[in-house]
Structure 1
């Protein structure tokens, strides 16, 4: 037993895997990044602004029912932290265990670091379930997972950086297949966690669970069939205490399917050692899935090895193989491009509109495929080549991959070292609003016509969250507020005007004269220009 723990599949191997991830973090992360204070986080116009603002607004709000509800944004109706991409489970745990007086703060630097560590842990876990005790295989898999271009490119989207969710699902698949048991309790815990972190990654993991169901043939037993529904039951019941009921408001359909897709050239598009020009269309950054030259060459060798050493790999894992094909097809979407040439248009049936609206960034669904290619390559070469040949192949793979992905690493480093971007002058807003302001009303609201929502609403979200103020709107997924003048007038008339300030984007409301008709006739309006907006306060007119 002691000897087993000293192998690459034991605790020493786990520590080595974590050590590689920590080395990467120490090597590339700038000072203050993990603490959430570096220049990368000091922006008011990027996705992270939404996450940080949403987290702090939720963290500072009183506990309510359901647990993920708060009314600091979309005030007074409120919303759920789920719709601000702020890692709901992580946010809830911090709200429960971190003292309230530390707010506002940014917890997402720690999450990014944790994601690197968990990528490495899952590499170790997968090899442990495969019963592959090889230090070189472990080091190779850890490095490939950490340096995955599809992984590094997602750092701006914090919840999507949690790709270890997919890797953990693959580890559970391997374990279930090896034991010929579904392991529904373990799957339930994993899927429930994934559900409250990111819906895309949860869906990928759930699909792998379904493939596991067919691989281990759980449908052959009524008892196993009943147990297989456990994740659905648990997650469904959990919604009653976390999310439901939802506010009765209009839901905005999301477009972009067919745009945020994967190009046929994406997996081989190239980086430092080779590069295919014009390998994508606008919007296909969401489908960036380059495998790396080292992985591509090693994968071709692994396929050749598989031909010369026939094994039931694809037959035994038929369900997973079919799933990866379906993931690839969906990633390509209904408009399939080879570089800049549209080679095929598919007419999806109307009933799929719900799916394509919810998962419009279809290019992301190739992520599990890329990871499966990496695992297949390492496993096939380990099991069907001599040790000295395997060692040579792994060293060559690592060398070529690391050299080829230099530009990918440079892009990653440039991203996490980007300069701060400040639009809102905090001191001016503090002076204008004064200590009596508790509620901000911002117009136009999110999803109402506005040419510069990122440059205006996002800074207001961050400011209101840091100052503990409520905001009547927010960058909230799927939410469609009323945009008509009558609804705006009604909201303003019902506001607690003594404790409220009304903020109007100057690019839409060009003068105070255009604002005045929105207020009741019996109020006196005082407006001042601050940065990008007119800030107005309304007082009852004296007769």
Structure 2
């Protein structure tokens, strides 16, 4: 008699599968993230978006309960900042705030959240595969490894909230359970609740989970052709949508504006198959799948192991037959995947650098998903799950060997990016540098920090400016700005808020950017502040406060060249410090005024007493502007600036003892153009000062 092979009971097999995936997830998490950071230790220094996430949580956990619930009142004061706009994982932050009295030393939960994501990713992948119908141990372990080593998952480490991709796997598993014959309504209601709660993790994940939820009633309707069958799913989907609208309204999610970028931060058609950041193909360049300048956001490489399983399924007749059954069995899911793929590709579709389709059409609401290339993630996970499921049926004899080979390939293929995550997390444990300690000491005595220009006005050097915001967060100091994913009307840039004003002894002003020396001169001249230089930044305090130690004297603004045309923007721009106040951010062609009064500052050579000024300007379209020009308070010219570009001139004289001049341009009627929130008056393209004496 031949021996019978032992067969695991379903409950035993389930326990073994989930235990193995959980242990593997914990191993991955503890290998990547130091325990000190998981327990809530604050990094002594950090860079990138993690500063944004930690800063939002740090302020939130240190303030009392108040309404609006998610508003950090001391961050981005006086308007405050909603931590949903700092990607600080509000759902986790609320939980940590509840237990914070028991764990007062836990001042950030970002790394704890990341560790949970690394732990839950393989577990939810097993759940999704078992929900699809494949319940054997080796395929489950393959799903666990493939999901944990999914390149688009590991690559997202810089955006902590978006590492919650286990939510997508959980949503996929609930979809398959909800669409089984006779499944009942419990899975779809769980999926609806999951989708609603995901808003409080990240809106992008909520949109993806919502697409999977919406696929449930579509699949049931198109498969069964019976409204009664899909009615509970329709109710669950509608309830989830209303819940999202309600929760978002109450917690202040709506009304913020995106900075644009749809069509730029998209996915390249070749991205899922092009091995960027691959350890197996280290010489492969990312430039070939970077056709718009922002397609790094659409990084979707699937990994060598997943591509191996997918390729073998597509090479088999049985595999093709299985694929042919999908439209009949899961039509709603296929439509959801098609919609997500089209959003990810955007209206500028490229295969490598070859344009496939370039249109001006935009999906309604697409600007709110400016980084649309991320929307392919659920499709990628479905390809992974379908590849494992199909392989086990298309190749019944060799699938174990293929899966073992795929596991080894996927693990090796992602070795470098996994190692990069570990090294980055270890760097957060390094003690602060001498420079960091000096900055902390310099800012510590102050109760209020003002950074000018605010990040809402000029975010060109946001990584550098955020170090000051982070130190303010460590000191729990009120700060007037914050880098956010979206802008709100309350926190929008207002030129009047950038003007010098009287300083109290507990306020520190930090001047950054190209025009900081000029701004320091204005603070000193108009408010009698005293300023000094640290690194490439100027710090100003009230005159009755000792200037913090470690600051060097502020150099004067550069002398303006004579008889030389100076452009106000673009690569040739070398004299930014002529733009004193009332101007918007310089653009490629020039700069707009966005206040009724816009000022220019001239620091002239000592031998210049009489000169001729030439300003090349134009007004807003179809709206001429009457402009009065005052030099140091005295009117020197009056112009009617037309919409067409032209030169406007004026002669002026300076007293012998003066070598600097402030030119005020009083603009009659600044207007708004289209959806632009700014009030624009005149556009300044260039200027020239000609010697007359």
Which TM-score tier does this pair reach, normalised by the shorter chain? 0.7 to 0.9
Deviates further, 127-136 or 304-313? 304-313
Q: Are 2:300 and 1:294 equivalent residues in the alignment?
A: no
Counterpart in the other structure of 1:18: 22
Q: Are 2:347 and 1:334 equivalent residues in the alignment?
A: yes
Counterpart in the other structure of 1:285: 296
Counterpart in the other structure of 1:111: 113
Cα displacement (A) at 1:447: 3.0
Higher helix share: 1
Distance verdict in 2 for CA 1:31–1:452, change over 3 Å: same
The 2-side partners of 1:498 and 1:310 are apart by 71
The 1-side partners of 2:492 and 2:249 are apart by 27
The 2-side partners of 1:356 and 1:132 are apart by 36
Cα displacement (A) at 1:425: 4.2
The 2-side partners of 1:22 and 1:342 are apart by 43
Q: Aligned runs of 1:350-429 on 2, under 5 Å? A: 352=363, 355-386=365-396, 388-418=397-427, 425=435, 427-429=437-439
Distance verdict in 2 for CA 1:264–1:185, change over 3 Å: closer
Counterpart in the other structure of 1:474: 482
Q: Aligned runs of 1:183-262 on 2, under 5 Å? A: 183=186, 184-217=188-221, 220-221=227-228, 224=232, 225-239=234-248, 241-243=250-252, 251-262=256-267
Counterpart in the other structure of 1:4: 10
The 2-side partners of 1:450 and 1:423 are apart by 25
Distance verdict in 2 for CA 1:170–1:227, change over 3 Å: closer
Counterpart in the other structure of 2:552: none
Which of 435, 447, 459 does residue 438 from structure 1 map onto? 447
Cα displacement (A) at 1:146: 0.2
Contact 1:67 1:242 in 2 (8 A): yes
Cα shift readout 1:283-332 (whole Å, capped 9, x = no counterpart): 22111111122221211222323235686333210111122122222212
The 2-side partners of 1:461 and 1:266 are apart by 36
Which of 296, 320, 325 does residue 312 from structure 1 map onto? 325
Gaps of 5+ in 1: none
The 2-side partners of 1:150 and 1:131 are apart by 25
The 2-side partners of 1:464 and 1:364 are apart by 32
Q: Are 2:53 and 1:45 equivalent residues in the alignment?
A: no
Gaps of 5+ in 2: 1-7, 546-693
Distance verdict in 2 for CA 1:360–1:60, change over 3 Å: same
Cα displacement (A) at 1:206: 0.2
Counterpart in the other structure of 2:515: 508
Distance verdict in 2 for CA 1:126–1:44, change over 3 Å: closer
Distance verdict in 2 for CA 1:285–1:227, change over 3 Å: closer
Cα displacement (A) at 1:430: 5.4
SS of 1:336's equivalent in the other structure is strand
SS of 1:441's equivalent in the other structure is strand
Question: Between Structure 1 and Structure 2, whose CA radius of gyration is higher?
Answer: 2
CA RMSD of aligned residues (A): 3.1
Counterpart in the other structure of 1:134: 136
Distance verdict in 2 for CA 1:315–1:421, change over 3 Å: farther
Cα displacement (A) at 1:209: 0.5
Distance verdict in 2 for CA 1:374–1:482, change over 3 Å: closer
The alignment of Structure 1 onto Structure 2 pairs a total of residues equal to 519
Cα shift readout 1:237-280 (whole Å, capped 9, x = no counterpart): 3345433797xxxx554122222111122111123444654432
Q: Are 2:335 and 1:322 equivalent residues in the alignment?
A: yes
SS of 1:534's equivalent in the other structure is strand
The 2-side partners of 1:65 and 1:83 are apart by 16
SS of 1:77's equivalent in the other structure is coil
Cα displacement (A) at 1:42: 4.4
TM (normalized to structure 1)?
0.86
Contact 1:173 1:208 in 2 (8 A): yes
Cα displacement (A) at 1:498: 4.5
Contact 2:214 2:237 in 1 (8 A): no
Contact 2:298 2:344 in 1 (8 A): yes
The 2-side partners of 1:237 and 1:483 are apart by 28
Q: Are 2:470 and 1:462 equivalent residues in the alignment?
A: yes
The 1-side partners of 2:253 and 2:420 are apart by 41
Cα displacement (A) at 1:483: 4.3
TM (normalized to structure 2)?
0.69
Higher strand share: 2
Cα displacement (A) at 1:60: 0.8
SS of 1:153's equivalent in the other structure is helix
The 1-side partners of 2:140 and 2:244 are apart by 34
Cα shift readout 1:74-93 (whole Å, capped 9, x = no counterpart): 21221211010100111111
Contact 2:440 2:471 in 1 (8 A): no
SS of 2:272's equivalent in the other structure is helix
